[in-house]
Homo-oligomer: A and B are copies of this chain.
């Protein structure tokens, strides 16, 4: 099945349409103006499944409710950044934060423990607490380059988060793409990814991959319908072309048309 609304004369990799069960593109919004989000959704809304209002940006931005309305109308799920909830936990304001999320009409919540000190047990208690009210997207992996998680712990924590009630789990890469899943130069920790997909259902994992070479790596390894996160807004269309083999980096993923190529005259 080819979901693109395009002219249809090319044979492209299979790609699920919205609403879909996998192949999510999860966008990081670090404070977009309302009008900018509106025009992005008008051009590329078919390729956006989730928008994260990153870390505490929603707390200080004008127009958050308008932005959430734009997303809802386009079938895009919205959550706050996990860091904001972490701060609420540390300041004993989880109820107030949840109340605010309900007031905003949010259906998703991100639960992380990468920014402030929180045990995985506490994190999973928080997932249980919130899973009745929201769809929980948990996050695994520290935001601090100095705090490397042992490879095997990622998959275990992901499974435990899913057991606790999370619908999806995010593998940390940050906006910068140089921690968590990635080395300091942005190279993918391939062994870590393999240890995750060996154990955790791949359609439940969103891999943060802000850079083109990272996205290419995941698409070549896990296919057009891999879930990718922390996509910058202006990279949504470029990512969709990577998924579909329409950019030089991934043309080798294009299917061979029936009968092969005829030589052009």
Which residues of A come within 8 Å of B, CB atoms?
Answer: 4-7, 9-11, 30-36, 38-40, 42-47, 54-63, 83-84, 86-94, 96-97, 100, 114-116, 122, 125-126, 129, 143-144, 176, 212, 234, 236-238, 240-241, 244-248, 251, 254, 257, 261-265
Contact = CB atoms under 8 A, between A and B. Distances in A.
Contact of A241 (B44, B56, B92, B114): B56
Given A91-B257, A262-B92, A241 B9 contact: no
Contact of A238 (B9, B57, B96): B57
A49 to B, nearest CB: 15
A91 B10 contact: yes
A115 B57 contact: no
Given A60-B241, A241-B60, A244-B60, A261 B90 contact: yes
18 contacts: A7-B59, A9-B100, A10-B88, A10-B93, A33-B39, A44-B62, A45-B62, A56-B241, A59-B241, A59-B244, A59-B246, A60-B240, A83-B248, A122-B263, A125-B264, A125-B265, A129-B264, A176-B212
A113 B63 CA distance: 40
Contacts of A251: 83, 86-87, 115-116
* From A54, A60, A234, A247, residue with most partner B Cβ within 10 Å: A60
A35 B104 CA distance: 27
Contact of A129 (B11, B83, B144, B265): B265
A116 B63 CA distance: 43
Contacts of A97: 9
B248 A114 contact: yes
- Which of A35, A91, A244 is most buried by chain B, counting CB atoms within 10 A of its CB? A91
Nearest to A236: B31
Given A54-B238, A61-B237, 6 more contacts: A9-B96, A9-B97, A9-B100, A43-B62, A45-B62, A57-B238
